[in-house]
Amino acid sequence: MASHIVGYPRMGPKRELKFALESFWDQKSSAEDLEKVAADLRASIWKQMADVGIKYIPSNTFAYYDQVLNTTAMLGAVPPRYGWTGGEIGFDTYFSMGRGNATVPAMEMTKWFDTNYHFIVPELGPDVNFTYASHKAVNEYKEAKALGVDTVPVLVGPVTYLLLSKPANGVPPNFDLLTLLPKIIAAAGASWIQFDEPTLVLDLEPNKLQAFTAAYSDLASSLSGLNVLVETYFADIPAEAYKTLTGLAGVTAYDKLVVSTSCSLLHTAVDLVNETKLDNEIKSWLAFAAQKVVEVNALAKALAGQKDEAFFSSNAAALASRKTSPRVTNEGVQKAAAALKGSDHRRATNVSARLDAQQKKLNLPVLPTTTIGSFPQTPELRRVRREYKATKISEEEYVTSIKEEIRKVVELQEKLDIDVLVHGEPERNDMVEYFGEQLSGFAFTVNGWVQSYGSRCVKPPIIYGDVSRPKPMTVFWSSTAQSMTKRPMKGMLTGPVTILNWSFVRNDQPRSETCYQIALAIKDEVEDLEKAGITVIQIDEAALREGLPLRKSGQAHYLEWAVHSFRITNVGVQDTTQIHTHMCYSHFNDIIHSIIDMDADVITIENSRSDEKLLRVFRDGVKYGAGIGPGVYDIHSPRIPPTEEIADRVNKMLAVLEKNILWVNPDCGLKTRKYTEVNPALTNMVEATKQIRNQL
Ligand code: GLN
Ligand code: ZN
């Protein structure tokens, strides 16, 4: 009975890679410095797994940006606009594809299955000529070997790689990507090899399944002597791990069984050891990547007849303590949430009538401009929050600094002549953490980071108990901001589905139950904002799609309770209160009816990386009648969009959308950008809008 780990977090226990990357991008350190940090991280991970006793230890799960982009680099599938002329792909080309450069935007990025990890979408056309352009997989295998660890190189499987890619511009849409399979297979090579094929858990059409069979029988015949491990994940095993395994052991020889994690540990936090602020009771209920490695090994050993009794009994005791802990249960909350099920919650007036009522009050120009919420988070701002948290500065000093920051952001927006303002979210570290910290039932980590894209990490809260809101969370800041301007100031909240999907959620009750509990807490906040005179309230549901089950059979049920939860948050407001929502994903054609069913007054969506697909959605939007703000430029890249480019985009949108419902905004929050990027970008955005208004 052997143990195996599918993949491991690459950022490091304290986000060492993030800091090394950002310093390299800012030209504060050299390529060698970056490579050294990366090599040290890899070495410590391999050693850790080897010490625990894991038999199949992965290599090549490390990436400077993304494992799918690594595959693109390995295959030399660089789109021509990046000017790569052959040879081993270096940081320049690699990061240009991932992040864009001064002249060329980044390649499209999208979410990896139902996680919050984003990958760079390969662009493949019929002319693509795969060449072996990055030796990373082989180099890392050798690197581990030199450290005395024999590893299993992990590659994104050919079927998954192809099915996730899109045809390059100019290629007819009926181009069959799967004809490229043989080229990919020809480029692969190693001794033990793991192909990650999470695509296989989707509901695949027969031709795609055939592609899979073909690819792997080719592999088997052309690479005899090679052990191929095909890994699928993101689908549940509906039984407790140990029982499942003993069951399996009955039908297979023990020596053929491998105990493994259910997916790459990339999607979990790194090590519970670094959690100094969690109390021991909550800690005993948790396992991060390093702990899961130990658990996998303990399970494999137990099944091989060497059960570590102490390990298993302390694990059982922890589970029992969680079942009976009073910290987990709040009966009032449970009752209120249960009462919501089965009934409908909708605003009484339809959206067109509501928009009319709102416009009378707001009096906005055609093509109103706005932003998605956050403004750049400067080092100074982070310092203020950090020092306040560490009680190094007083509450008074903290409030003064944050107010000053809000004033700056408000003044800037007035100067830029933006119509609906935001306060900039300077008091928030993270859009979910900020709310979780003020709600009961949540616990927080110090270092529980998970990679989202590139060097960006998120620190998901842990929902361990029933959720309630002891007191208002945002009203003070929003009303302070509103008092600084005559223009409408958007109240800014994170929606229940997003809070749920970006947290580690308790598994002792259905997720829908937890979501309804959060919805009730946000509902109270919405109503308190309205009472405080805030007339536009944005409830972000950035992660609505992330919770969508991968298989179609579970999707309708999820969308039903998720959308219902969103509506619950704002069902109590007046017609004149304008509810916005924001979503950041691109594949939403298939859930457009659910988005409409959310019944928001205005939806801003991320789209600047995936234009064409959206036209259909826009048309549905027209039928719906709500306001729509498809992002007019990409905030994930440092590039500054020229005025003409934005104007061009808005004109294209106007070709399908009625002018009275279109909003103009960037495609997401600006917190990761610098003021030197945001100022000119927003200037151009407003300028483009004014030019178009004059032509209407
Ligand atoms: N209001 C949030 C912000 O601007 C939304 C972020 C997001 O959609 N991820 O930062
Ligand atoms: Zn967004």
CA distances (Å), origin 685, targets 121, 211, 291, 371, 551? 27, 45, 48, 10, 39
Residue 314 has pLDDT above 60, yes or no: yes
Where would I find the H helices in 538-624? 555-570, 592-597, 614-624
ipTM: 0.99
- 656 burial via Cβ count (<10 Å: 0-12, 13-18, 19+): middle
What gap in Å lies between CA 176 and CA 157, rounded to an integer?
Answer: 18
Distances (CA, A) of 616 to 71, 611, 648: 31, 11, 18
In this structure, what are the phi and psi dihedrals at residue 81, rounded to the nearest 5 degrees?
-65, -15
Q: What pLDDT sits at residue 25?
A: 98
Query: How high is the pLDDT of residue 614?
Result: 62
Q: Which ligand is nearest to the CA of 585?
A: 2
Q: Which helix (H) or strand (E) holds 283?
A: helix 280-284
Instruction: Pull the structure tokens for residue 235.
Output: 């689908």
CA of 335 to the centre of ligand 1 (A): 32
CB 211 within 8 A of CB 217: no
From 32-36, 231-235, 551-555, 674-678, the region with the lowest mean pLDDT: 231-235
- Looking at ligand 1, which atom is closest to the CA of residue 372? 4
Mean predicted confidence (pLDDT) in 153-178? 69
Whether the pLDDT of residue 540 is over 90: the answer is: yes
**Burial (Cβ within 10 Å: 0-12, 13-18, ≥19) of residue 484:** middle
CA distances from 575 to 224, 355, 358, 360, 572 (A): 69, 8, 7, 11, 10
What pLDDT does 618 receive?
60
> Are 361 and 535 within 8 A, CB to CB?
yes
The reply to whether ligand 1 has any atom less than 6 angstroms from the CB of 546 is no
Residue nearest to atom 5 of ligand 1 (CA): 669
Q: Are 461 and 504 in contact (CB under 8 A)?
A: yes
Q: Which of 56-70, 244-258, 463-477 has the lowest mean pLDDT?
A: 244-258
Measuring CA to CA, how many Å separate 229 from each of 184, 214, 460?
Answer: 17, 16, 31
Q: Are 600 and 579 in contact (CB under 8 A)?
A: yes
A 10 A CB-CB count for 152 gives: 24
Distance 517 CA to ligand 1 centre (A): 22
**Atom number in ligand 1 closest to CA 373:** 4
Compute and round to an integer the Cα radius of gyration of the chain: 26
- Listing DSSP states for 372-396 in one string gives -SB----HHHHHHHHHHHTTSS-HH
Name residue 203's amino acid. D
% pLDDT > 90, the chain? 64
**Ligand having the closest approach to the CA of 375:** 1
Does the CB atom of residue 537 touch ligand 1 within 6 A? no
Mark whether 636 is an active-site residue: yes
> Burial, 465: exposed, middle or buried (Cβ in 10 Å; 0-12, 13-18, 19+)?
buried
Range 20-29, long-range pairs (CB < 8 A, 24+ positions): 21/64, 21/454, 21/455, 22/455, 24/91, 25/95, 25/99, 25/455
Residue type (1 letter), 51: D
Out of 11-25, 52-66, 111-125, pick the least confident. Answer: 111-125
End-to-end CA distance of the chain: 71
Please work out, in degrees rounded to the nearest 5, the angle formed at the alpha carbon of residue 26 by the alpha carbons of 681 and 583: 45
Please compute the mean of the pLDDT values over residues 520-545 and round it to a whole number.
Answer: 96
Is residue 134 very low, low, confident or very high in pLDDT (cuts 50, 70, 90)? Answer: confident
Residue bearing tokens 């800014």? 492
How many other β-carbons are positioned within 10 Å of the β-carbon of residue 315? Answer: 15
CA-CA-CA-CA torsion sign (35, 37, 38, 42): positive
The whole-number average pLDDT for the span 362-367 is: 98
Q: Is 225 helix (H, G, I), strand (E, B) or coil?
A: coil
Query: Half-sphere exposure (CA, 13 Å, Cβ side) for 343?
Result: 10
CA distance 606 to 372: 10
Distance CA 231, CA 6 (A): 8
Mean pLDDT computed over every residue of the chain: 88
Q: What's the mean pLDDT in 466-476? A: 97
User: What was the pLDDT predicted at 223?
Assistant: 53
Distance CA 672, CA 144 (A): 34
Phi and psi, residue 502, nearest 5°: -105, 20
Asked whether 580 lines ligand 1 (CB < 6 A), one says no
User: Quick one: which of 547, 663, 539, 551 has its CA closest to 607?
Assistant: 663
Tally of CB atoms within 10 A around 509: 14
Query: How much distance in Å is there from the Cα of 634 to the middle of ligand 2?
Result: 10
What are the Cα distances from residue 67, in Å, to 74, 279, 380?
Answer: 10, 35, 33
pLDDT level of residue 172 (50, 70, 90 thresholds): very low
In this structure, the residue with its CA closest to atom 9 of ligand 1 is 542
Is 545 close to ligand 1, i.e. is its CB under 6 Å away?
no
- Does ligand 1 lie within 6 Å of residue 491's CB atom? no
Rounded mean pLDDT, 120-140: 85
CA–CA gap between residue 530 and residue 512 (Å, rounded): 26
Tokens linked to 108:
């499209």
Per-residue confidence (pLDDT) for residue 258, from 0 to 100: 78
CA separation (Å) from 114 to 111, 158, 502, 551?
A: 7, 20, 11, 11
pTM of the model: 0.84
